[in-house]
Amino acid sequence: MKKFLLIGLLGVISCNLFAQQSETLTFEQAVEIGLENNFDVKIATNQVLLTENERKIGTSLLMPTLDLNNTRGYRREDTEQAFVSDPENPRIIPGAQTRTNNYSLVGIYGFRADAVVALQRLGKLAEVSELEAKVVIENTVAAIATAYYRLVLEQQRYEVLNTTLELSNERMEIAKAQYEFGRASKRDFLAAQVDYNADLTALVSQEQVIQNSRVTLNELLALGPENDFAVNDTITVKENLFLEDLRDNAFSNNKMFLVTQRMENVAYLQLKELRAQRLPTITLNGSYNDNTLNSDAGFLLSNEQQGINLGATISLNLFSGLSLNRRIQGAKIQINNQRHLIEQFENQLQADLQRTFNTYENSKRLLEIEKNNYEVAVENSDIALDRFRLGIANYLEFRDAQVNRLQAESRLIESLYTIKENEIELMRLSGKIYFPETAD
């Protein structure tokens, strides 16, 4: 797509505020740093990993379990045994010992239909988590873009104020010379000084605005507030954006809209999972056992057993106090809510697109007006300065032309920034914020 450049300041930047800055931070570099360092992005990325881990845990519900057990026992006790065959002569065994050693390998596999559906639901939630992470990334890019171009705007304002201060200084020098040569009153000279000091105050105040704007950008980039850098002195905007294209892209790529759709799928799977709990549960179990018994007393002095045990269980819940029915009814209500949320988001998305696009189009028209007005204001200011030098115009006429030029230039750069700000929002709404500066 074609793009055009408008330089807010038509002169060369030479102010002292940026004289010592040697490195320029481009917008692309700012986005790269922000996506690497921003804490919200890091948290969202970790949340994706947590959700994926939960999905993998859910997969284990469909896998069999296998346990190896070893049980050892030892008893030592004094034993007296009387037998039916000879009750008069009991058998006395002091310190009789009994040893047991049992090994078992137990495998259990339980098939539950609701576990299969639960795994599908966890998969959808993993998709939702990824989309939500992309939402965080898009919002972060949009915030960085807005903060970056806000800083550019404030620098351009500084240059406008600096130019105004230079004109005020020139006017003050002229007024001083005229006063010294008796061609003007001291009042004109003092008025020039007052206006110069007012313009200087505005310039100093703008320095603070720039510093705070840089701190805001540093915060988004997760850098220290003292980090200093220069930014580009131009604001680049796309030539044309079309509402229909933006709307089509929004319903295909807007991540929050996709999240809302996925959550409807999750609600359907939740209902399906609850209904699956009415189905039978099948549990298969098997074990291999190796048992050894050695005893100094009793009928068995030793006993060894080895073998396999197999079994299956089918269970079906017949009554659970109607709790399952109530949960199914709640899941149906949740599905209806998700449908309403999708409809609500569609309506809100279209409204946000329309409002932002209206502002975008109006700002473009205002920009053309402000460009023409700025050219007229500059020409009028130059003429007023020449007339003031020649003593034809008084200081009020010159000051009025100077203020008009300041206001015209301020409105011009503000219009350009407004276009860029709305462009960023349109790109975010349409799901295309990843490529805010792509050119043909």
Strand partners, 285: 108, 311
Residue 6 has pLDDT above 50, yes or no: no
Residue 439 has pLDDT above 60, yes or no: no
Residue 213 has pLDDT above 90, yes or no: yes
Q: In whole angstroms, what is the distance from residue 189 CA to residue 184 CA? A: 8
Helix (H, G, I), strand (E, B) or coil at 16: helix
Cβ burial of 133 (10 Å; 0-12, 13-18, 19+) is: buried
> How far lies 201's CA from each of 157, 189, 205, 214, in Å?
14, 19, 6, 20
This prediction has a pTM of 0.79
Take residue 440 and report the two structure tokens written for it.
Answer: 């043909």
Over the stretch 293-313, which tens digit does the pLDDT of each residue have? 787 776 667 878 888 988 888
Helix (H, G, I), strand (E, B) or coil at 292: strand
pLDDT of residue 7: 27
pLDDT of residue 22: 46
Q: In whole angstroms, what is the distance from residue 237 CA to residue 364 CA? A: 10
User: Is 265 in contact with 342 (CB distance < 8 Å)?
Assistant: no
Residue 426 has pLDDT above 90, yes or no: yes
Q: How many C-alpha atoms does 366 have within 13 Å on its Cβ side? A: 18
Domains of the chain: 3-68+119-288+333-429 (1.20.1600.10)
Higher pLDDT, 18 or 146: 146
Take residue 44 and report the two structure tokens written for it.
Answer: 């969202």
Over the stretch 413-423, which tens digit does the pLDDT of each residue have? 999 999 999 99
Continuous H helices in 181-294: 186-220, 243-253, 255-276
Q: What is the pLDDT confidence band of residue 352, given thresholds at 50, 70 and 90?
A: very high
Residue 3 has pLDDT above 50, yes or no: no
User: Is 155 in contact with 300 (CB distance < 8 Å)?
Assistant: no
Take residue 31 and report the two structure tokens written for it.
Answer: 């986005």
Are β-strands 230-231 and 24-25 bridged in parallel, bridged antiparallel, or unpaired? Answer: parallel
Residue 28 has pLDDT above 80, yes or no: yes
Chain centroid offset of residue 305 CA: 63
How would you write 22-46 as a 3-class SS string?
CCEECHHHHHHHHHHHCHHHHHHHH
